[in-house]
Amino acid sequence: MKALSTFILAITLFGCSSVATGQQKLDQFSFKGKKLNYTVILPQNYDATKTYPVLIGPSDANTIEDESFYWQGVDDTEGWILIGYRIYNAVNRADEIMALLDHLRETYKVEGNKFHTVCFSANSASIFELVMTIPDYFAGITGMAGNPNYRDEEKLKNLKGVKVQFVVGDKDTYWMNSAKKSHEKLKELGIDSQIEIIKDGKHVMTPLIGKGFLTRANALR
Please answer whether residues 152 and 138 qualify as being in contact, where contact means their C-beta atoms are separated by less than 8 angstroms. Answer: no
Residues 181-198 pLDDT 10s: 999 999 999 999 999 999
Residue 113: per-residue pLDDT: 98
pTM of the model: 0.88
| All domains of the chain in start order, with CATH | 2-218 (3.40.50.1820)
Residue 150: per-residue pLDDT: 87
- Per DSSP, what are the bridge partners of residue 55? 82, 116
Residues 134-174 pLDDT 10s: 999 999 999 999 999 888 999 999 999 999 999 999 999 99
Average pLDDT, integer, range 55-62: 96
Q: Please report, for residues 7, 148, 206, the alpha-carbon distance to residue 1 in angstroms, rounded to integers and kept in the order given.
A: 10, 21, 23
Of residues 116 and 4, which shows the higher confidence score? 116
In whole numbers, what is the pLDDT of the chain averaged over residues? 90
Residue 195: per-residue pLDDT: 98
Average pLDDT, integer, range 214-220: 96
Average pLDDT, integer, range 111-115: 98
C-alpha span between 101 and 95 (Å, rounded):
10
Residue 16: per-residue pLDDT: 39
